[in-house]
């Protein structure tokens, strides 16, 4: 007997995902302020972002191996991780320029994000098994908006210089950090209080190393997984570089506002991609978005010198397509993996993908401070090009 899904479930999970994942790039949004206040090096943005990514990789493995979301109520795991992640994020205010402490705090936030993003997906999957594709697009879109939110808060709380503050009051960057932490706590509470456990929620299977072999030997699974790896080469490096790209044309508060718009456009990319799946299939939608984001990489030398409206249009299209294929890669990988090892395949795929993002972040942050952006950004297209090449087996008789 099918169980009616309460109408509030998806909106609550979406808003909670949005709130919790705002922790991801909280420090990135205020990095110019931290560099001014604490004298952090220019490369610190790459180091701190890589710390979050590595924390997420470690957290994903630990949560999966210990099956924490099966041993305990998933909504309770979500709440605990949201509150602890918010506390570590707020502790940024106490770092006083100590880069090692900041790295440790960001690693801890990344570790706890493994109890927010994947666990939120698990809760949604238990309620929306028959409509998971559409729900996945909205959920990952919420993650994207959460990623963009700190930039939006920075645009609202200061003049963009990081220097405006009331006498004796907190600086704008401190308000951003605290605002994100409070929002993450609210998201955790909302899920814990308003999202019940599905009576027939399946237990996850234990992680098995044989999934790694399947990723390489199964032709269709290899196509979706390596397409995802190409996508990850570009995605987070783009997110880290967005403020630097925007600074090439804009100043002050406009930088944060434009960064929010560019990254937040990914919500539309995810949702529109999800709507197109029924007509075109996940593989075709992933191909279109991957090709579009790759074209945006190659167009960078021209667009960086284009009139501001065209420049912003290019950046918004790039932000929409760079992540719009993410739900489709998750769907394709889940469809092509043997049912008994779907959880293992997704876990290892996510961990490898985020490890790839660490490499690309470090490379492109260093390159962007050594060479002009017009000569650096086109190299992001290496990932989409590889992803498009690997996707080819799925573009023949694609499941719809």
Identify the domain containing residue 182 by its residue range. 8-197
Over 70: is that where the pLDDT of 163 sits?
Answer: no
Question: What is the CA 337 to chain-centroid distance, rounded?
Answer: 23
Same domain? For 126 and 19 the reply is yes
Q: Residue 90: name the closest of 3, 218, 177, 167 by CA.
A: 177
Residue 17: both structure tokens together: 């995902």
- If one counts the domains in the chain, the total is 2
Over 90: is that where the pLDDT of 46 sits?
Answer: yes
Q: What is the rounded CA–CA span in Å between residue 173 and residue 26?
A: 10
Same domain? For 247 and 381 the reply is yes
Same domain? For 116 and 175 the reply is yes
Which CATH number do you get for residue 146? Answer: 1.20.1250.20
Asked which of 197, 214, 245 is the last residue of a domain, the reply is 197
Q: Is residue 166 part of a domain?
A: yes
Q: The pTM is what? A: 0.92
Long-range contacts from 95-98, C-beta under 8 angstroms, 24+ separation? 95/38, 96/38, 97/34, 97/37, 97/38, 97/39, 97/40
Q: Is residue 3 part of a domain?
A: no
Same domain? For 254 and 179 the reply is no
Same domain? For 135 and 227 the reply is no
pLDDT of 210-221, one tens digit each? 888 888 889 999
Q: Is residue 47 part of a domain?
A: yes
Neighbouring C-beta atoms of residue 252, cutoff 10 Å = 12
Sorted by sequence, the CB contacts under 8 Å of residue 124 that are 6+ apart come out as 9, 10, 13, 132, 135, 136, 139
The pLDDT of residue 131: 62
Total residues belonging to the chain: 400
Q: What is the mean pLDDT of the chain?
A: 90
Q: What is the rounded CA–CA span in Å between residue 151 and residue 176?
A: 9
Q: Is residue 17 part of a domain?
A: yes
Over 90: is that where the pLDDT of 6 sits?
Answer: no
Max distance between CA atoms of the chain, in angstroms, equals 65
pLDDT class for 351, splitting at 50, 70, 90? Answer: very high
Same domain? For 89 and 38 the reply is yes
Q: What is the rounded CA–CA span in Å between residue 233 and residue 240?
A: 12
Over 80: is that where the pLDDT of 200 sits?
Answer: no
pLDDT of 219-264, one tens digit each? 999 999 999 999 999 999 999 999 999 999 999 889 999 999 999 9
Residue 217: both structure tokens together: 């030997």
């Amino acid at each position: 007997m099918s169980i009616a899904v309460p109408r509030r479930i998806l909106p609550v999970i979406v808003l909670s995902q949005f709130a919790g994942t705002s922790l991801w790039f909280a420090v990135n949004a205020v990095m110019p302020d931290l560099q001014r206040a604490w004298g952090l090096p220019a490369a610190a943005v790459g180091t701190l972002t890589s710390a979050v990514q590595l924390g997420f990789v470690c957290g994903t493995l630990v949560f999966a191996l210990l099956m924490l979301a099966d041993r305990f109520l998933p909504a309770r795991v979500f709440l605990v991780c949201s509150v602890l992640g918010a506390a570590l994020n707020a502790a940024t205010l106490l770092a006083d320029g100590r880069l090692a402490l900041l790295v440790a705090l960001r690693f801890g936030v990344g570790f706890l994000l493994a109890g927010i993003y994947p666990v939120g997906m698990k809760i949604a999957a238990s309620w929306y098994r028959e409509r998971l594709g559409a729900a996945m697009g909205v959920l990952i879109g919420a993650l994207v908006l959460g990623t963009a939110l700190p930039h939006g808060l920075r645009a609202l709380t200061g003049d963009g210089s990081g220097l405006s503050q009331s006498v004796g009051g907190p600086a704008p960057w401190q308000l951003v950090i605290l605002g994100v932490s409070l929002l993450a706590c609210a998201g955790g509470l909302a899920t814990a209080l308003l999202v019940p456990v599905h009576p027939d929620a399946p237990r996850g299977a234990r992680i098995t190393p044989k999934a790694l072999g399947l990723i390489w030997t199964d032709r269709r699974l290899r196509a979706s997984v390596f397409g995802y790896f190409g996508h990850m080469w570009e995605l987070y490096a783009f997110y880290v570089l967005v403020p630097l790209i925007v600074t090439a044309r804009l100043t002050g508060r406009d930088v944060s506002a434009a960064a929010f718009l560019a990254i937040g456009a990914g919500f539309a990319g995810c949702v529109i991609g999800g709507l197109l799946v029924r007509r075109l299939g996940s593989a075709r939608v992933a191909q279109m978005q991957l090709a579009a984001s790759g074209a945006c990489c190659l167009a960078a030398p021209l667009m960086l010198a284009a009139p501001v409206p065209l420049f912003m249009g290019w950046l918004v299209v790039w932000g929409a397509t760079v992540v719009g294929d993410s739900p489709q890669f998750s769907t394709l990988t889940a469809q092509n993996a043997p049912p008994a090892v779907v959880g293992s395949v997704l876990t290892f795929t996510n961990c490898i993908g985020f490890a790839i993002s660490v490499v690309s972040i470090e490379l492109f942050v260093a390159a962007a401070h050594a060479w002009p952006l017009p000569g650096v950004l086109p190299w992001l297209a290496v990932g989409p090009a590889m992803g498009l090449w690997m996707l080819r087996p799925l573009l023949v008789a694609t499941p719809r």
